[in-house]
A and B are shown apart, each in its own frame.
Chain A
Amino acid sequence: MSAPNSGTPPTESTTALAALSTEQLIGSGQEGGLLDQVRAWVQRVRGGDMGALPAVAGFIVLSILFTILSPYFFTERNFANLLTQAATLVMLGMALVFVLLLGEIDLSAGVTAGLTMVIFVVLIAVVNLNWILALAIAFLTGIAIGTFIGFFVAKVGIPSFVVTLGLFLGFQGLELIIIGAGGLYRVETPEILAIQNSTLPTWGGWVMVAVMLAISATMSFIDRARRTRAEVPNRTIALVWAKLIAIAVLGGGVVLILNQNRGTGFKAIEGVPIVVPITLAILWIGTFVLDRTKFGRYIYAVGGNAEAARRSGVKVAMIRWCAFIVCSSLAVVSGLFSISKVGSVDAAAGREIVLSGVAAAVVGGVSLFGGRGRLIHAAIGALVIAVITNGLGLLNLPAGVNYAVTGGVLILAATIDAVSRKRAGGSILRT
């Protein structure tokens, strides 16, 4: 047994905290050393609160499997490829988290991405609009779509499944009308193509890791300072160091691999693809909003028990509405990632990806029943699906196998979700 508060820095008055926690009959779950915290975490996992654990395990197992099966899998080139392939799905999965947390769904997110990109590219190619202006119009269209869905779901009261299924069909039609059957537009904007095809300078990757470490450390210490000021116990500081070390090792490892020359010709290709820092920034901002602001907390509350939230004064309809707007707006970003990778837009843009987006979130540990999940879960889930697609592709297996395996993984993940929810007791007392 480690002594309580072991490892807290001398700056915090350890004795006062110890006195407080003995007097305090109710704990806060923050007491104890590293070992106690690890033990508490194991207990939570056993209780059904697994988070992204199955997905992380799946990612590691699949990576090892494909490394054994294919000599091309674990190479610098494929690693960079994997990240850029996954980026679209990561972004779409993160977009969907906002509505999945409410227990809603947006089946139109993929075609929202597709339609806004069709509008974007056509505005540039046909109307000769400035690309920034076209991009602004694409985003405004995304926001308008979210507003439209939110209105019908939150105000009129139609199930989101039906509204967005309608839009899923309607937008495909709209894409066809704008582009014409079999039509295709090339993406000519260098700034957009750069997202997936250009890289940071090699030093830029290190700066990125440094910024991540700085932000994480600052946030942790601000949190600790606030808790100390409120005279409630802090978690052992070892956890902060562990987190920072994990970021440094993981981030550093990724940057190290990506900074190797992966070009096949004379021109060196090295550095972190630009899409990576963009995705990380959106992941960080989104997580900040979900964890630390009223909007985020109320999304979880509405997803957990909408009636309880309403009685607590939460404007439930407004929260729902805003969540759909956030989802559609982030879907536009995923569309940008997609056209940057593919280099063109056709009339079927975004038709296939939406279910993969939902799958990514669910595989990562976001609950379809609402109220449980984080953005990082969707990102990890998307990486799992991307690894499957990428690995099976390297093995030259037919596309059908890819669909079948991805579908199987989705059902497995949904099963884990349902079973862990039962274990957590959520289904017993839910009204």
Chain B
Amino acid sequence: MDMPIIELKGVVKSFGPVDVLKGVNFTAYPGKITALVGDNGAGKSTLIKGLAGVQPYDGGQVLFDGSPVTLHSPRDAGDLGIEVVYQDLALCDNLDIVQNMFLGREELSAGTFDEGRMEREAAETLRQLSVRTVKSVRQKVSSLSGGQRQTVAIARSVLKKAKVVILDEPTAALGVAQTAQVLALVKRLAEQGVSVILISHNLVDVFEVADYISVLYLGQMVASVKASETNNEDVIGYITGAKTYEGTPA
């Protein structure tokens, strides 16, 4: 087995009197898709917000590539190559695709924007991910469909040379065809060696793309299994707490 790129050990987080994460262990591997599932309130969002540096964990250990790291700000996470694609997509409607993809890391030449170079790299990244649905890289994001926005948001993380991409419900608001496109994009992302953490409520999507499935239940990691060694029914059991996982965490 490969060495995990992300390893969380006994991570805890509480908001006032409420313990949201009660000592969670979690691993993700390079080039693999790990699905993180669990019911509402299980702690999925809190877990990824910690990884993203948005809401630091209260305790526990975070290992990145085997060495302990601290994630206190989005910048810490970004420096390590951890990128989050949020459910609400975090794109600026009033900017175009290139401007969004390079937001916060614009390329300069003589102190001013080198729009040509940014446009080329953005187009190349989209091409590399075989994106065909976008007409022009200079389209305003406000004119894009939900699936196209998701595509831009994912391509943005690729452009940043992310090693770990966390996708928060990437297909939640999408139709059938767009869901298929985004899932294909997620697979290509993993093929390029990126470790993908996929948060989803849709188990059909999860079983279609995931290599590993980790289940959170009331702030505890109740199961970590290979997708090929489990089934829909078991995973629903873990999510609802009706079933207990007996094996060793994969």
Q: Nearest CB to that of B83 among chain A residues?
A: A311
In the assembled complex, the CB of A13 is this many whole angstroms from the nearest CB of chain B, namely 15
A267, CB-defined interface residue at 8 Å: no
B interface residue count range (under 10 / 10 to 19 / 20 to 34 / 35 or more): 35 or more
Contact, CB under 8 Å: A312 / B127: no
Also in contact, A47 and B99, with CB within 8 A (given A226-B115, A227-B115): no
Contact, CB under 8 Å: B93 / A371: yes
Give Cα distance in the complex from A310 to B103, angstroms: 10
B161, CB-defined interface residue at 8 Å: no
A337, CB-defined interface residue at 8 Å: no
Contact, CB under 8 Å: B142 / A426: yes
Also in contact, A303 and B94, with CB within 8 A (given A227-B116, A294-B106, A426-B142): yes
In the assembled complex, the CB of B47 is this many whole angstroms from the nearest CB of chain A, namely 17
11 contacts between A and B (CB under 8 A): A24-B127, A25-B132, A28-B136, A28-B137, A226-B116, A232-B116, A288-B112, A292-B112, A305-B92, A309-B92, A425-B93
Contact, CB under 8 Å: A232 / B90: no
**Which residues of the partner chain A approach B74 to less than 8 Å between Cβ atoms?**
310-311, 313
**Which residues of the partner chain B approach A314 to less than 8 Å between Cβ atoms?**
103-104
**Which residues of the partner chain B approach A371 to less than 8 Å between Cβ atoms?**
92-94
Contact among B103, B112, B116, B137 for A309, CB-based, below 8 A: B103
Interface-central residue, A288, A294, A300, by most chain B CB under 10 Å: A294
B: residues with CB less than 8 A from A are 54, 74-75, 78, 84, 86, 88-95, 99, 103-106, 108-109, 111-117, 119-120, 123, 126-127, 131-132, 134-140, 142-143, 146, 149
**Which residues of the partner chain A approach B78 to less than 8 Å between Cβ atoms?**
313
**Which residues of the partner chain B approach A310 to less than 8 Å between Cβ atoms?**
74
Give Cα distance in the complex from A293 to B107, angstroms: 10
**Contacts A297-B113, A300-B95, A424-B143 known; 16 new A-B pairs at CB < 8 A:** A26-B137, A27-B135, A223-B116, A293-B112, A294-B106, A303-B94, A305-B90, A305-B92, A305-B93, A308-B90, A309-B104, A311-B54, A313-B74, A426-B142, A429-B93, A430-B93
A372, CB-defined interface residue at 8 Å: yes
**Which residues of the partner chain A approach B119 to less than 8 Å between Cβ atoms?**
28, 227, 230, 232
Q: Nearest CB to that of A305 among chain B residues?
A: B92
Give Cα distance in the complex from A49 to B140, angstroms: 10
Give Cα distance in the complex from A276 to B112, angstroms: 27
Contact, CB under 8 Å: B126 / A230: no
Contact, CB under 8 Å: B136 / A27: yes
In the assembled complex, the CB of A288 is this many whole angstroms from the nearest CB of chain B, namely 8
**Which residues of the partner chain A approach B132 to less than 8 Å between Cβ atoms?**
25-26
**Which residues of the partner chain B approach A286 to less than 8 Å between Cβ atoms?**
none
**Which residues of the partner chain B approach A294 to less than 8 Å between Cβ atoms?**
106, 108
Also in contact, A293 and B111, with CB within 8 A (given A25-B127, A27-B137, A313-B75): yes
